[in-house]
Amino acid sequence: MDSESAAARVDVSKPHPARRYDYWLGGKDNFPADRDSADAVAEAFPTVRLAAVENRNFLRRAVTYLAAEAGIRQFLDIGTGLPTAGNVHEIAQGIAPESRIVYVDNDPIVLVHARTLLNSSPEGATAYLDADLRDPERILTHPDLTGTLDLTQPVALMLVAIMHFITDDEAPYGLVRQLCEALPSGSYLVMTHATNDHLTDEDLAETKLANKRSGVPFQLRSTAEFRQFFTGFDLVPPGIGSVMTWRPEVWRPHPRPEAVSMLGAVARIP
């Protein structure tokens, strides 16, 4: 893995979702273009940082459920983002050290930091692919994936806060279906997605303008649109809902769902 070559490919003049998300989570691996883009979104959605934190909390609870209760030992995390506290392999291998994880992202700066993601337990394994969700075939056939995961055994496909960057003209449902069809029965689909459920027409128009100003393609979807990603799959209770209310560990006061506006669900592929 050539981190120097990857660093040379980082374009700091254009915002990137991974670096913008890092900024919202309080990270340091972001640039003025990312911060300007993030602040443009925050103008229309002031609680976006809270949404990022709650989304990360959902990921932790979902991986914990899959490793501790569902017995999953393989994870494919697409749209990984920059390493932060509680990466998928840290959570899964903390429960089952033999867990195997493949991370995928298309931002060179994530590749620069990928050694953190490759810090596997001795019993398990991790790999990182510099690839794009829009090219499932490259992901599924990449030797680093096939050398790390056994696609005849169940895999948890993690699409956390990534599908809202895939607009309708990029066939989002087809991309997810292609990935899921490559996985055996007993696998799982984990997804979160920003929603427009709580927006008035005026708010929605303002949000669309803010996203356009941000320079990052972005598409909110309703619960009904989100549900289509799970057609034919068995939703794990409590089903589809706010990321805040999916299997909370302990009771704590929550903001209103509209302050987070992020849907989440986990489903078993029959």
Domains of the chain and any CATH numbers? 3-269 (3.40.50.150)
Please report which residue ranges of 48-186 form alpha helices under DSSP H.
48-68, 88-95, 108-112, 114-117, 136-141, 143-146, 172-181
Q: Name every residue whose Cβ is closer than 8 Å to that of residue 191 and which is 6 or more positions away in sequence.
A: 159, 160, 163, 176, 226, 229, 230, 264, 265
Mean pLDDT across 240-259: 79
pTM (two decimals): 0.84
Q: Are 143 and 151 in contact (CB under 8 A)?
A: no
| Mean predicted lDDT score pLDDT of the chain | 87
In angstroms, how far is CA 178 from the centroid of its own chain?
A: 17
pLDDT score of 6: 52
Closest CA to 11 of 37, 45, 34, 36: 34
pLDDT score of 44: 66
Count of residues for the chain?
270
Residue 206 scores a pLDDT above 80: no
Residue 225 scores a pLDDT above 80: yes
Which residue has better confidence, 146 or 36? 146
pLDDT band at 174 (very low <50, low <70, confident <90, very high): very high
Residue 194 scores a pLDDT above 80: yes
Name beta bridge partners: 235.
267
pLDDT band at 14 (very low <50, low <70, confident <90, very high): confident
Q: Name every residue whose Cβ is closer than 8 Å to that of residue 20 and which is 6 or more positions away in sequence.
A: 30, 34, 35, 37, 38, 41, 214, 216
Residue 202 scores a pLDDT above 90: no
pLDDT score of 255: 64
Helix (H, G, I), strand (E, B) or coil at 103: strand
Name beta bridge partners: 76.
102, 157
